[in-house]
Structure 1
Amino acid sequence: MMTVLDTSCLPPAERTTAWAETTALALVTTRFRFPDPANFGAHIRAMALGPVQVSAISYAQLVCYRSPRLIRESDPELYQIAVITSGRQGIEQARHNTVVSPGEIVLYDSSRPFEASARGPGSCGSLVLQFPRRLMPLPDHVVAPLCGTALGAADGVGHVFRQTLASLAQAESDLTAPDRQRLGTTVVDLAAAVIARRADRTSVLPPESRLATLYQQITAFVTRHLHDTGLGPAAVAAAHSISTRYLHRVFQVHGTTVNGFIRRERIARCRRDLADPLLQATPVSAIGARWGYPRASDFTRAFRTATGMTPTEYRSLRNQADGGTLP
């Protein structure tokens, strides 16, 4: 993500103006009221994923509103879905008046008037997904009734959506253009799944969106259970109430296999821990056991196959590589 605004670098008298100008460019044009302008502060980081944008935003108390006149003057026709990360925030749109707390998800539409507020004490924060309405795989009659409403807590597919946004907020800046395009499609599919679940209309999602969402849910499940020695296709399929045959199909569509994904994620975490200076006193075998390799011989064989060296050799070389130049 790139920092597009950090008011701590500005004189206090310029901060509210900078916020209004930056949000008009990075988000949508709105008007603001600031309860305490002299002490206002804000920070915005953003990442473009093709036509999709993910932003991490924090800000002091404020009230913003988007009027019919502003919409007539400029309407990019965007959906915005925010995961609240701190503070209590309010949204009023389409005759809905909602207050949301950390962990909740809220939907709003740039083509409909709204008023939103950030309520103190302390700063408020959110992760915001913004994308053109034309990319929404759900029909408007499903989405429109939910504008200005809370889509529930970030659990189930909502949890996957929240974790995906959080991961994107921490992503490296060297993503390729195709990577960004694919990630944009993925996160919009997840947003649609959250909305469809709230509307109890999951069946109206296009098959490709349902498949993409299921893949994200499954991979999130796998990464949470890498420590489980019983993790395998049968256990993963059972946890998602699908057949192992369909599970393999889901992974095949995404160019990988279930066992290959599990093995790759386990080895990645073992490599991370072996290179961690704070874990130098932890035996190699214990690191393997932590990530699903209870037998040292199995861990050594799997690690050597993936990296070309034993775990002990890898740790030793990482210790010698000042600055961590090894992969």
Structure 2
Amino acid sequence: MLDEMVFRSDDVPVQDRFDYWVELLGRTHAPMELLSDHAEDFHASQRVLDVGAVTVWSARFQPLVFRRTPKLIRQSDPEAYHLSFVLRGTGAGIWRHRETRYKPYDLFINSSSLPNDVHSSGDPVTTMALEVPKALLPLSRDMAGRIVGAPVSGREGMGALLTGFLTQLTADTAGYRPADRARLGTVLVDLVAALFAHVLEAGDSLPPETHRRTLVLRIQAFIREHLHDPCLTPATVAAAHHISTSYLHRLFRDEDATVAAWIRRLRLEAARRDLTAPGFRTAPIHAIAARWGFPRATDFSRAYRTAYGTTPQAHRHQALQGHE
């Protein structure tokens, strides 16, 4: 089962409910000013799931105005994208560059770094949401502006893929183990990256830099999806996207690693998780290495020692001793 944190306003004294809700949202999203006609006897609930680097939560609350001001952003910015799937209620998001109205089964995209007012109505408003660190989806300020507030349906296309996964994930967490958190977080990041690429490509006459960044997001999602394939190389990645290998390398010049290094790092991270995962404790190390695209055990051990300063065997032994 995944770690959960549940809040119910009925568990808090009436006079403290609204202030506690403001504080809670400040921790799970970002510090905000909240306004409500129901502040004197506020009713709300929230369930937060720990999914690796991504935070997933569902909430029910009475009508609110959420306000993120420039002053609050200067004081504290978690630098995250917020995606909310509206199940019940309506409202609007207002930014300097856009105003978007939303209704049930719409996806609402926001950023902790942009001033905004979000008005919600309905009693109660019901949403599922996720917070994704911007570092996992690096976009320029211009492209972030194109994403934030863009109208997206949660009923069809890429929006439906993301909301369907969110719905299934939050419906019942009993079948998941703690070791699944990072894997689930990776899936969510990939789905959000694909959604952002879809939204950016839908724009008319996008500047070259936007097309470039969109292509990089698609390529990174492709790499994550095919990590198991030992034949995954810069050449095969380039061929799958109908570009030259040299152009692929140019696309990655602004990233934190070359294409080959990026593939190797993701494979090592995945293998490192499996080495100590309960379901793989008896699996031979060479089998785990092969599972993540290292057909030669010696190559895997050498890359692992270079990355982590220890051998796979030593890491597994130390981790298992810690659980005894």
TM range (shorter): 0.5 to 0.7
Contact map agreement 1:193 1:210 (CA 8 A) in 2: no
Contact map agreement 2:4 2:50 (CA 8 A) in 1: no
Contact map agreement 1:33 1:63 (CA 8 A) in 2: yes
Q: Following the alignment from structure 2 to structure 1, what is the Cα–Cα distance between the partners of residues 165 and 140?
A: 24
- Name the residue aligned to 1:135: 136
* C-alpha distance 131-204 of structure 1, shift in aligned 2 (>3 A): same
Contact map agreement 2:85 2:129 (CA 8 A) in 1: yes
Q: Following the alignment from structure 2 to structure 1, what is the Cα–Cα distance between the partners of residues 37 and 222?
A: 44
Contact map agreement 1:137 1:209 (CA 8 A) in 2: no
- Name the residue aligned to 2:115: 113
Please give the secondary structure, in 1, of the residue aligned with 2:100. strand
CA apart distance, 1:138: 5.2
Runs of 4+ in structure 1 over 6 Å off? none
Q: Following the alignment from structure 1 to structure 2, what is the Cα–Cα distance between the partners of residues 70 and 148?
A: 20
Gaps of 5+ in 1: 215-252, 254-327
Q: Following the alignment from structure 1 to structure 2, what is the Cα–Cα distance between the partners of residues 153 and 178?
A: 29
* C-alpha distance 46-23 of structure 1, shift in aligned 2 (>3 A): same
Code of the residue aligned with 2:173 in structure 1: it is: E
Please give the secondary structure, in 2, of the residue aligned with 1:123. strand
CA apart distance, 1:24: 1.1
Q: Following the alignment from structure 1 to structure 2, what is the Cα–Cα distance between the partners of residues 213 and 36?
A: 46
- Name the residue aligned to 1:205: 217
CA apart distance, 1:2: 2.3
Task: Give the count of matched residue pairs.
Answer: 216
Q: Which has the larger radius of gyration?
A: 1
- Name the residue aligned to 1:46: 48
Q: Following the alignment from structure 1 to structure 2, what is the Cα–Cα distance between the partners of residues 188 and 194?
A: 10
Q: Does 1:56 align with 2:68?
A: no
Q: How does 1:230-241 map to 2 (within 5 A)?
A: none
Code of the residue aligned with 1:207 in structure 2: it is: I
* C-alpha distance 148-142 of structure 1, shift in aligned 2 (>3 A): same
Contact map agreement 1:43 1:57 (CA 8 A) in 2: yes
CA apart distance, 1:189: 1.2
Instruction: Output the TM-score relative to the length of structure 2.
Output: 0.61
Q: Following the alignment from structure 1 to structure 2, what is the Cα–Cα distance between the partners of residues 174 and 103?
A: 26
Q: Following the alignment from structure 2 to structure 1, what is the Cα–Cα distance between the partners of residues 157 and 73?
A: 34
Contact map agreement 1:93 1:108 (CA 8 A) in 2: no
Give a deviation string over 1:228-276, Cα, whole Å, max 9, x none.
xxxxxxxxxxxxxxxxxxxxxxxxx9xxxxxxxxxxxxxxxxxxxxxxx
- Name the residue aligned to 1:218: none
Q: How does 1:18-167 map to 2 (within 5 A)?
A: 18-120=20-122, 122-136=123-137, 140-167=141-168
Give a deviation string over 1:88-121, Cα, whole Å, max 9, x none.
022112421111011111111101111112113x
* C-alpha distance 177-129 of structure 1, shift in aligned 2 (>3 A): same
Contact map agreement 1:41 1:60 (CA 8 A) in 2: yes
**Percentage of identical aligned residues:** 26
